[in-house]
Each structure stands twice: as structure tokens, then as C-alpha cells.
Amino acid sequence: MHVLDLDYMLGLLPILLGYLPLTLEMAGAGMLAALVLACLLAVVRVQRTPGLNALAMLFISFFRGTPLLVQLFLFYYGLPQILTFLVAINGITATILGLTLHFSAYMAESIRAAIVGVDRSQTEAALSIGMTQGQLMQRIVLPQATRVATPTLMNYFIDMIKATSLAFTLGVTELMGATQKEAAGSFLYFEAFLLAAIIYWIVVEILSWLQRRLEKRLNRAYQR
Amino acid sequence: MIALHGITKRFGTHSVFEDIDLTLEQGEIIVIIGPSGTGKSTLLRCINYLETPDAGRLTVGDLSLDVTRASRQEILALRRRTAFVFQSYALFANKTALDNICEGMIVVDGLSKAEAHARGREILERIGLADKANAYPASLSGGQQQRVGIGRAMAAKAEVILFDEPTSALDPEWVDEVLSLMKQLALERQTMIVVSHEMQFAREVADRVVFMDEGRIIEQGPPDELFTNPRDKRTQRFLRKVLANNPVV
């Protein structure tokens, strides 16, 4: 029977941790870009901006309706054949682009739901004192929608961190890619992937803890 | 001066009211009464452009606009000259009592935060909630929330404050504190239009009571006259029904 090689795992830990920053950077960059894009999409959907609304719906439908892996392959292997200026695209950029587009489609829908959920009478109150649509969005609606959307958005962020592991299929050596290489050298697949799993798990747990603190803060105004 | 000329509102093919004329002098207090569903609230909402009127002319102070071709700028200008108090209070849930009152002064009037807060605290003092400056709406009673709602309207320094059934959503125990704040404003000759079922308030405070039914102004006059000597049958019938339960003294 195979006994868990703890010494190997301990030795591997610093090596794998060395790739964690890249994983987090891809997820962080993807999340920031996705948030911006999702907010734009959500506002277009809520205000039913003529023309743009239909485009936003098509965008959301496509990126929710196809697997992330297919999208990544499409951007990295497929698109450069059509758009030659993309030939130079590297795996990291393609991953961030894929994560951004894919997750923004999901996030747009939850942000839209959160915006629509803000009490309509508050919108009227803001308009009644002479606020513009922009001021209303920025000062009244979005802050409250943020509170409602935060738990779901944090879940998407957690999902995105895990989804960065797909980058290894584009030849990026991030946490998953590094684990794969190390395991192939040592043949200790179980130890290597168990360690990778534990590292992802701990990162996600830390984020979940942050999420709970953030939610508590955001809920302050609503305590009776 | 506030003037409505030929104000008309339709929802689809259904006409809520046609050709409404109403004029108020500065400092005048009007209470609009009438059965539910006769367009009182909709009329009030048209003055603030929360509903877009289909025809007519609105004049508030030095601003006069034809509603069929009001520009976005004119609508903003109109809203800045009018303030609205909602039945459901409609306080900003993400802001404290003080910030609810200061929001418009900062964002719309461009006051500095310090100036706005100083004025906001004065208003909190006047509405009797100086100790609740940092309380969020969720922690306030209905009466307190509505007083903040009125405070927010006071902060707008509007030519007219529009009250849309301000006490209808309140538990009976909170009604008096809101009405007495409104009386205080009336004593200061704040121009206001109040849609209300509070007949006692109308009787005591209004300069003029307007009776609306089925989208028309049926009759209007000083409360003494309208309550004791209504001319129109519909006014008589309405008042009989309402006053039978709550006699006005």
C-alpha cells in the first residue's frame, strides 16, 4: 500500500507556493475587469439602452451558455487564426481575458437583480430632490445593490480562483501547471495534487472569512 | 406662485384626469381630499414629474414649462423647486438620518459637507430628532422615519412641499407627531400641497381644501365653508361618509 510521503509534500510546498502569486494575480485581474464589465452590462440591461441591451443579452447568453474551457481554447488557439494581431497573445493574457468575459456574464445578471431589488420608492425620492440618473445610481442604488450582490460576487471570485487552474491547458505554469510538472517528475501524483488541493482550499477559506467580515460591515446600516 | 394649467394624465387609453387647473400663492397651504383612486396622488406626482403629464403647463416660481416638450434640464430644475414627502417615507436605507437630510444639499445644491451637516443638524433639531443623527432608517420608528422624510424635503428649500398621504402608512400612535410637525411648517408659511385623509388636519391647517373625484376638481374653498356647507352632491356624500366615523371639530 502506498503511504503518504509527507517529506515530499513538505519539500514541494514552497515550490508550489511560489506559483500561488500568479494564480492570485490572474484571478485578481480577472475579477477587477469582470466587475467593471459586469456593472456596465447590468446598467445597460436595467436601463434597457436601445441597441446595447440586445448586444448585452447576446453577450451574456453566449458566455453563460458555453464552457469556460471552450472559450479559453477559442481565444488562445482559435482567434489568432482569424485576427492575426492576436498571435502574440500569451496564455496568461488569454486566461485573464477568458475569465473576465465568462464571469462578467454571470456577475452582470446578479448585479442586475441586485439593482432591480433596490426599493423603487428610494429611486423616486432621489429623483424628487433633483438628482440626475447618474447621481442616483452612484449614491443610492449601487451602494445598496453592492450589499445585496456581495455574497454572490464573492462566490464568483472564489470560483474564478479555482478556474485559473484551467490556464495550464494554455501552457501557463501556475499552481496547477506547476503541480502537474512536479508530479510527472516524481510520480507522486497523489501527494502533489492533494497538496495543490489543500492550497486552493486554504486560499478559499481565507476568502470566505473575509467575505463574512465584509458582509457584516455592509449590513451595519440595516440592523434594527 | 405655483400654477397648473390644463394638466392631463393618461395611462394608456385610461384617462386619470383631464385639464386640471390649480393655483397656489406663496405660503398657501392646500389639502386635497377625495375618494381613493381619483387621481389625487397622481396629480401630486405630476407636479414633481415623478409621473410625466401628457398635456398642460406647470409653473413653479420663475420656472414655467410646457410638459409636452420639457427638456431634461427643465425637469431637473422643476424638481429642484419642489420637494416630495412619500407615503412610504422612502428614506435612503444606506444613509443615516443626518445623511438622508444632507444628501440633496451636497449632491444637488453643491454645499460642502460641513455646511450641509450644520444645516442638517439644525433641521434635525427642528424635527425633534437631534439625538438620531447617526441612526439608520431601519432603526427608526415609522413616525421618526416620516419626520426625517419631511426633514429631507425641508432641506431642499423648495418653493413647495408636496405631501402624498404622509400619515397613511403610519401606526396610529405615530400619526400625531407627523401632523404636528406639518402644522409647525404651516405656521412658518411653508407653501404646501397635502393629499390626505386627515380631515381634522385639513380643517385646522388648510387655507383651502380641494375636493377631487373621478379625475376632476369638483369644488374648493376655505375649510370652514367646504366642511360645513359643501355645494356639490358628491362632496356632500363623501364628507358624510368620512365624517360619520371621524367627526371634525
- What is the ipTM score, two decimals? 0.90
Average pLDDT over residues B193-218: 94
Contacts of B139 in chain A (CB under 8 A): 223-224
Q: Do B92 and A122 touch (CB under 8 A)?
A: yes
**Distance between CA B43 and CA B4 in Å, rounded?**
10
Mean per-residue pLDDT over chain B, rounded: 93
Q: Put the strands of the sheet holding B82-85 in their side by side order.
A: B82-85, B160-164, B192-195, B29-33, B208-213, B216-221
And the C-alpha cell for B179? Answer: 401632523
Measure A158 CA to nearest chain B CA, in Å: 27
Query: How high is the pLDDT of residue B210?
Result: 96
Q: Among residues of chain A, what percentage have pLDDT more than 70?
A: 98
Q: Which residues of A touch B152 (CB under 8 A)?
A: 125, 129
Q: List the beta strands (DSSP E) in A16-131.
A: none
Interface contact flag, B93 A144, Cβ < 8 Å: yes
Reported as a single tens digit per residue, the pLDDT across A163-215 is 999 999 998 888 898 899 988 888 888 888 999 999 999 999 999 999 999 88
Strand B192-195, strand B160-164: pairing: parallel
**Per-residue confidence (pLDDT) for residue A85, from 0 to 100:** 76
Nearest-CB residue to A130 (from B88, B104, B138)? B104
Q: Which residues of B touch A126 (CB under 8 A)?
A: 92, 103
pLDDT band at A47 (very low <50, low <70, confident <90, very high): confident
Residue A87: predicted pLDDT:
74
- Measure the N-to-C terminal CA separation of chain A; round to a whole number of Å: 59
Residue B168 main-chain phi, psi, to 5 deg? -65, -30
H or E stretch covering B82: strand B82-85
Sheet containing B63-66: order of strands: B14-24, B2-11, B55-60, B63-66
User: Given CB atoms, is B80 within the 8 Å cutoff of chain A?
Assistant: yes
Q: In this structure, is the dihedral angle defined by the CA atoms of residues B171, B176, B182 and B186, taken in order, positive or negative?
A: positive
**Other C-beta atoms lying within 10 Å of the C-beta of residue B198:** 22
Residue identified by cell 501524483 is A189
Say if the Cβ atoms of A127 and B79 lie within 8 Å.
yes
Q: Is B93 on the interface with A (CB under 8 A)?
A: yes
Whether residue B134 has pLDDT greater than 90: yes
Q: And the C-alpha cell for B36?
A: 381613493
How big is chain A, counted in residues? 224
Measured between CB atoms, which of B50, B95, B156 is closest to A124? B50
Q: Choose from B42, B72, B84, B92 for mutation: most chain A CBs within 10 A.
A: B92
- Do A125 and B104 make contact, defined as CB atoms within 8 angstroms? no
pLDDT for residue A70: 94
Cβ atoms of residues B146 and B170 within 8 Å: yes
In chain A, the residue whose alpha carbon lies closest to the alpha carbon of B152 is A129
Q: Which residues contact A6 (CB under 8 A, 6 or more apart)?
A: none
CB A59 within 8 A of CB A109: no
Query: Which run of H or E residues covers position B183?
Result: helix B172-187
Q: Distance between the two ends of chain B, CA-based, in angstroms? A: 31
Among residues A185, A90, A131, the alpha carbon closest in space to that of B106 is found at A131
Pairing of strands B82-85, B55-60: unpaired
Q: What is the mean pLDDT of chain A?
A: 90
Provide mean pLDDT across the span A39-66: 92
Q: Do B93 and A131 touch (CB under 8 A)?
A: no
Q: Based on the number of CB atoms within 10 Å of its own CB, is A133 exposed (0-12), middle (13-18) or buried (19 or more)? A: middle
Q: What count of CB pairs under 8 Å joins A to B?
A: 77
Beta carbons of B188 and B23 less than 8 angstroms apart: no
Chain A residues touching B94 at Cβ < 8 A: 140, 143-144, 147, 221
Q: Does B126 touch chain A (CB under 8 A)?
A: no
Find, in chain B, the residue whose alpha carbon is nearest to that of A136: B107
Nearest CA in chain B to A132: B76
Residue A15: closest CA among A165, A181, A128, A141: A181
At residue A1 the predicted structure's pLDDT band, cuts being 50, 70 and 90, is low
Q: Which residues contact A143 (CB under 8 A, 6 or more apart)?
A: B94
Q: How confident is the model at residue A224 (pLDDT cuts 50, 70, 90)?
A: low
Question: Could you report the per-residue pLDDT of A85-94, keeping only the tens digit for each?
Answer: 767 788 999 9
Compute CA A48 distance to the chain's CA centroid, rounded to the nearest angstrom.
25
Task: Kindly tell me if the per-residue pLDDT of A2 is higher than 80.
Answer: no
Quick one: DSSP state of residue A104? H
User: Are the beta carbons of A147 and B152 separated by less than 8 Å?
Assistant: no
DSSP B198-224: -HHHHHHH-SEEEEEETTEEEEEE-HH
Share of chain B above pLDDT 90, in %: 90
What is the model's pLDDT at position B249? 67
**CB proximity B91 to A under 8 Å:** yes
* For helices A189-218 and A20-47, angle between their N-to-C axes, nearest 10 degrees: 40
Per DSSP, the three-state class of B192 is strand
Looking at chain B, which residue has its C-alpha nearest residue A119? B90
- Strand B29-33 with B192-195, pairing: parallel
Give Cβ neighbours of residue A144 (< 8 Å, ≥ 6 apart). A114, A118, A122, B93, B94
What's chain B's length in residues?
A: 249
Judge if pTM exceeds 0.90.
no
Q: Where does the pLDDT of residue B65 fall: very low under 50, low under 70, confident under 90, or very high at 90 and above? A: very high
What average pLDDT does the segment A97-112 reach? 95
Average pLDDT for B123-143: 94
The predicted pLDDT at position A108 comes to 95
Determine whether the interchain pair A131/B86 forms a contact, defined as Cβ–Cβ distance below 8 Å: no
Burial A51-78 (b: 16+ CB within 10 A, else e): ebeeebeebbeebeeeebeebbbebbee
Give pLDDT tens digits for B76-110: 999 999 999 999 999 999 999 999 999 999 999 99
